[in-house]
Amino acid sequence: MNIEIKSGRIVDPVNGKDEIQSLYVSEGKIVAIGKAPEGFLADQVVDASGCVVSPGFIDLCAYLREPGYEYKGTVASETFAAAKGGFTAVCCPPQTLPVNDSEAVTHLILDLARRAGFSKVYPIGALTKGLKGQQLSEVYSLKRAGCVGVGNSGRPVADLNVMKRCCEYAKTHDMSVFVRPEDVSLASDGCVHEGAVATRLGLPGIPALAETVAVSQLILLAEETGAHLHMSQLTAAKSVELVADAKKRGIRITADVSAQHLLLTDVSVSGFDSRFHCLPPFRTEADRLALIEGVNSGVIDAICSQHQPHEAAAKQAPFAESEPGISSIETVLPLLLGLERAATLSMDVLIRSLSVGAANVLGVQGGSLAEGQNADICIFDPNKQWVVNDETIKSSGKSTPWKGEELQGLVKATLVDGCIVYA
């Protein structure tokens, strides 16, 4: 099928392109920009006037819930929501039921994704069996089945010797290790950032030290073993500083941050609203500004959604007893466009952090609009306004801090391998 994407603002950070042009797709590939190839006849024309045409977004953390938690979401419902958010590919953590620590579960997830036909899915396999932090998973078989990395889905591997062996094993099979850094003893049973807000509300806090101590340990493990460690969802200014220093020393460390942690702070939880219950917690304004600086400087490689759909009951309990996480994959783009309009992030950095930055972390193709590349493309209107509500959110999870608000920036169409999967 031949598609002409007509007169859009093409922004491609990899190739230094930011200009209004038409882009041509044929048989799943980008075949030309600017001038149609000789003999090209479009089967479909997408008018992108007033829109940005960018590489499709790649999400490093989106919980798809299936298998096992279909009452929260399914691979089909959440990959459709991803496509609506402009994501042409998503990584799903191994926190499923059963846990994705076997080839069978990986195959099931990939099969469900193929049948759904929306965004591509890159499974993260379990680092330890059952995510129990004790016994190594069969990393090689997970890689063979299609996992792009291994991780423990935010659950602790408290024994550093086990973690060291995990890193060595992953290095042997050239697999990246995804870790949300947190010292379990310091985090304890906290549910918000440890500080004045937590004290005033009487909620148990998680100090930033719980993250930075873990980051320090993981950097040392990466240095010792040579494994690639990816730090997921950083929240603290000191963490950014530690990762920057490690990168300068050539240690194989990468990092991401969630879009909501670039917008919100611990002050947001002042009303005991469980929609703001997230782990890791929102921290201080100084931390938030340091995270933004980390994105701008490239110390933080990618911005993810940390999408966690929940059924309504999961969020109806008192704050500390509600399940952490929000439905976020459809609001990442408009939230970041708000930062772009405020001149906090440039359009180039925004798109780089959502596309090629994530592709490089995963070591997969994507993030470029060069001729010959797979036509994974996002077309969005940066000025289109829409209201976040149960009807406009396509995810099965409807809990978001922005419910009822009007956001600016909406995806017009998403193409995966040259097929329009959302419009």
Across the chain, what does the average pLDDT equal?
Answer: 96
Query: For the residues 84-99, what does the mean pLDDT come to?
Result: 97
Which whole-number Å values give the CA distances from 22 to 2, 29, 33, 57, in the listed order?
13, 15, 6, 20
Contact present, 387 and 405 (Cβ < 8 Å): yes
pLDDT of residue 86: 98
Q: What's the pTM value of the predicted model, to 2 decimals? A: 0.96
pLDDT of residue 375: 98
pLDDT of residue 392: 97
Burial class of residue 281 in the structure, from the number of CB atoms within 10 Å of its CB (0-12 exposed, 13-18 middle, 19+ buried)? buried
pLDDT in tens, 245-277: 999 999 999 999 999 999 999 999 888 899 999
Percent with pLDDT over 90 in the chain = 94
d(Cα 176, Cα 283) in Å, to the nearest integer?
A: 27
Per-residue pLDDT at 208 exceeds 80: yes
pLDDT of residue 162: 87
Contact present, 179 and 280 (Cβ < 8 Å): no
pLDDT in tens, 7-28: 999 999 999 999 999 999 999 9
Query: For the residues 96-103, what does the mean pLDDT come to?
Result: 97
Percent with pLDDT over 70 in the chain = 100
pLDDT of residue 410: 98
Q: Assign 414 a pLDDT band (cuts: 50, 70, 90).
A: very high
CA nearest 63: which of 365, 310, 366, 393? 310
d(Cα 383, Cα 156) in Å, to the nearest integer?
A: 42
Radius of gyration, alpha carbons of the chain: 21
Contact present, 377 and 87 (Cβ < 8 Å): no
